[in-house]
Amino acid sequence: MVRGSSTQPSPWLASGQNIFKATGRDGMTKTILTIDDSASIRQMVAMTLTAAGLDVIEAVNGQDGYDKATTNTVHAVITDLKLDTISGMEVLKAAKTQNPQTEVIMLTGYGSIESAVAAMKAGAIDYLTKPVDTEELTLALARAQERQQLKSEVARLRSVIAKEQKFDPGNIVATSPAMREVLEMVARVA
C-alpha cells in the first residue's frame, strides 16, 4: 500500500523547527518504505510519516518488503528485524545494494545487544525497540536525513577536489628551452 503525502503541517517539530524535511533538493517528496508484519505498528508508522508530509510505501512481510526495497527508489527503510521468510537484515542488505544512500532503521520487539551490533555493522543508522515511540522515530529519521546530506556533501567535495587536482602544465613557469619543450609535449599528451 502506498500512502500519499498530506497537506497538513508536520507534527515533527523540535525547538520549533521541522527536523525532517519531507522534500529533497529536487523538490520531490521523500519516500519511506515501512515493513512490519504487525498491521497496527506498520499503520502507526505510516500514519506518522504521512502526517509529516512523506510518501509511504507499506510492506506486510519480508518478501513484500524485499521486493519493494529492490524495485522502488526510497530514501529510508523502516523495517522490523524479525520478519517471516526474509529477515529485516536481508532487506537492509538488499536496500543498501539497490542504493547505498538509502538509510535503514531497524525495529524490534526482541532487542539484544548482539542484534543491534549486527544491524549497525550491516549498515542500519538506528535500532529502535517496540513499541515504537514516535519521537524516537522522528529523531532517527532526522539522523538518517543528516547522514544522507553529509554523504552527498562529501561526494560533492570529492568531485570538486578531483577537478582542482588535475594537472595543468600551463601553471608551470619554465625559462629554459628544454623545459618548455617538455611542457609542450606534456600538454599534447594530456
Model confidence pLDDT, tens digit, residues 32-70: 999 999 999 999 999 989 988 889 999 999 999 999 999
Beta carbons of 83 and 65 less than 8 angstroms apart = yes
Phi, psi of 53 (to 5 degrees): 90, 15
33 burial type by CB count under 10 A (0-12 exposed, 13-18 middle, 19+ buried): buried
Look at the domain 2-163 and name its fold.
Rossmann fold (3.40.50)
The residues, ordered by sequence, that sit 6+ positions from 137 with a Cβ below 8 Å of its Cβ are 45, 48, 78, 105, 128
Low-confidence residues of the chain: pLDDT under 70: 1-29, 166-171, 190
Among 17, 16, 14, 20, which residue's Cα sits nearest to residue 5? 20
Give the whole-angstrom CA distance, residue 74 versus residue 30: 7
Q: Where are the beta strands (DSSP E) in 15-102?
A: 17-18, 31-35, 55-59, 76-80
Q: What is the pTM of this model?
A: 0.72
Count the neighbouring beta carbons within 10 Å of the beta carbon of residue 178.
Answer: 8
